[in-house]
Structure 1
């Protein structure tokens, strides 16, 4: 998710046209939003839902689907999953959308089969790279930053497709092999000193490379699994990213269900459940810490963002998911609800060094962008994990903070939304749509 000069066509017409059934499904969804949030918000939602399908997805001859971020011509395992989030509610009733998601799952699994340490891939062996001088020169790989969520997101997408439709065509021999690899790699990285993975980039930006000749900062054993980079694509300060570990624990439960119910592979199911428990126990033992002293909430127990098992603790949150704020969305069955509620209070307060306030908005940002910028993704997550009133307020806030573009951006100045990063960021579009559809659901419940 590295920030690059825009290469996509943000003003391009919607071409090719959508399948008629998909078109009707999206129009009906947007009309539900219009009924509760007005014409402008509903129009933004409809345009965003269409734009992702028409301008980011390329379907291959084999039925797989390649998804770019919107402004970068590469496919991230994380982004290509989150970009599809608002469409998942329609899978049971719209076969063409189910086919599209199946195509994305096929491509994601093929990518992980090729290189489970990479975070972003090219559409074929094009040789394109974020940095041509990186150690990894595989022509299929755009970037080889190892991020735990890059393993977890494709698993959860395959699981949701299966549960929503009952289809198992994507859960083939390759899928079986890849899910075995996911479990084995997460377990190997519990003891990173045994790992072959290295990432080194010739740069003066410390978050763009790993210390110690590409091995990362030292870590002790905690039971959690190591990650070189965060969901922001920034290097971890400490090697155990707590929200990524809890997300991986949730994904491992999905692996266990698929392994047991689809493949009757009890060994893989048992391994996945056992490792999930180890990650949860590790997060509880090492990743739950006292609220930072001297701040509101002092004395509560909260989730740290990162730890190293050697005494290093980083209390913050980042807008990119999996984040601490997003845990009810990505790790609902493995989080501690009481710890998360205290963590939410921390994240949405000045105690979080990446919570920013301006005259227009307040919200979570990221060290990945300019200081003081608020991310619409985090505003959407705040709403999705909050109350119906939160959702309505934040939906309107995101729409009003578009900088006059009718687009949802990566980040914006909370006192001047005309100052923003990334003219077109499909993940932000999709999270705005997911929030809007949740608002519509609230109104009908």
Structure 2
């Protein structure tokens, strides 16, 4: 991997940000933040000659559309003040849109037609595609990144003819998958692991029509138990509002804007009708299910990977029902969520994607960012002391022994840790000013 040369303005911006973290959260956290902010850009991003940027997840040499967006989370606050950083994000957006233009059903791509695959025996043998697991968030994350770049800087250069075509494709594909039985998509893998393939000859478990859009896989890359993933549908509804705004204000495409707004409303209505269910074994309080099938089945859980039920205020702030979400938050941060784990050092949400009994730093960061300022301070300290002595965040760890972890280098987790630390710094400085400090 060729190390990316950082513009001096980017280095200065990130160094100053880390200094603010040191002043508010201590030397250890500040040093971890500075190292992670620089490492993500130098070790995961490769700038291409075509004005695009390829972003690996860390220790896997492929670009996930989800990860390459979330890895940029802590940098987005600097887009309007650091033009070279905005240029870098624009380059990532261009590559993401090129990937979607190539295959909107794929979740992860190679840096060119290398022929590398997660499993060489998969049905999809496209040399550009690392893996073709269809996940709704793979469509939504690039849209939200492009929209954030535009709103922060006013630049519209990423919205070229290809971008216009891709936004149309996204709307059309989400609508196609409202009736999955009519979809051409299939995924089969020769494996004994049920979460690594889809049932019914690659079509997935049976679903009824609900108004929601179908997904084969979760943001964890695990197969959905039921085909309508509720947090992904709400995230898609939020992203469609962004598509509508871009179409109307930048692309002068009123038809696309209207289609996107209408589909957003259909997804929200579908979630309201089928994805909001009574609290299991409780008083009937309405909560969001994690997945439903439109045939009467609902899955009560949450997963560490985002979009999750816990992350909805971050991923779908304009389309969620706040009262329902708050009741859902209480559910998923309790033993009622089968993937909520308690240890002697930490407690938090894990995932069936990793060993049982593991907590994910990403989920701890999301819990912090969707909680109170006091939650953020507390959970930032938890994250810092569960790095296993490595100075890095990991995919998951044993909550009673953080030296037992998976994935020694997971850039998405690093970035979420940085985001929590930067928010804590902002809030600490604001409180100091309110108290008459300097």
Q: TM-score range by the shorter chain?
A: over 0.9
Partner secondary structure for residue 9 of structure 2: helix
* Residue 144 of structure 2 corresponds to residue 159 of structure 1: no
Q: Give 1:224 shift.
A: 0.2
Aligned residue for 1:441?
Answer: 426
Taking the TM superposition and a 5 Å limit, the aligned residue runs for 1:291-306 are 291-293=279-281, 298-306=283-291
2:148 aligned counterpart, secondary structure? helix
Shift of 1:299: 2.4
CA shift digits 1:333-386 (9 cap, x unpaired): 000000000000001000000000000000000000000100000000000000
In the alignment, the residues of structure 1 paired with residue 81 and residue 24 of structure 2 have an alpha-carbon distance, to the nearest angstrom, of 23
**Aligned position for 1:424:** 409
Report the CA distance between 1:16 and its aligned residue. Answer: 5.0
Q: 2:39 and 2:284 mapped to 1: Cα distance?
A: 46
Indicate yes or no: 2:298 matched with 1:313.
yes
Write the distance in 1 (CA, Å) between the matches of 2:185 and 2:167.
19
Aligned residue for 1:99? 87
Structure 1 match to 2:43 = 55
SS of 2:80's equivalent in the other structure is helix
TM-aligned CA deviation for residue 15 of structure 1? 4.5
Q: Alpha-carbon deviation of 1:85?
A: 0.6
Post-superposition Cα deviations, 1:17-53, rounded to whole Å, max 9, x if no partner, equal 5211001000111111111100000000000000000
CA offsets per residue over residues 127-184 of structure 1, 9 Å max, x none?
0000000000000000000000000000000000000000001000000000000000
Q: Is the 8 A contact 2:108 2:129 kept in 1?
A: yes
SS in 2 for 1:58: strand
Match of 2:278?
290
Alignment of 1:243-392 (within 5 A): 243-293=231-281, 298-392=283-377
- Whether 1:413 aligns to 2:386 is no
Q: Shift of residue 292 of structure 1?
A: 1.2
Deviations 1:77-114 (A, max 9, x none): 00000000100000000011000000000000000000
**TM-score normalized by the length of structure 1:** 0.96
Q: Structure 1 stretches of 5 or more lacking a match?
A: 1-7, 9-13
Q: Is the 8 A contact 2:4 2:45 kept in 1?
A: no
Cα drift, residue 263 of structure 1: 1.1
Root mean square deviation, CA, Å:
0.9
DSSP 3-state at the match of 1:418: strand
Matched residues in 2 for 1:398 and 1:444: separation? 21
- 1:417-439 CA-to-partner distances (Å, cap 9, x unmatched) read 00000000000000000111110
How many residues end up aligned between the 2 structures?
430
Question: Counterparts of 1:389 and 1:286 in 2: how far apart (Å)?
Answer: 35
TM normalised by structure 2 equals: 0.97
SS in 1 for 2:303: coil
Deviating runs (4+, > 3 A) in structure 1?
Answer: 14-17
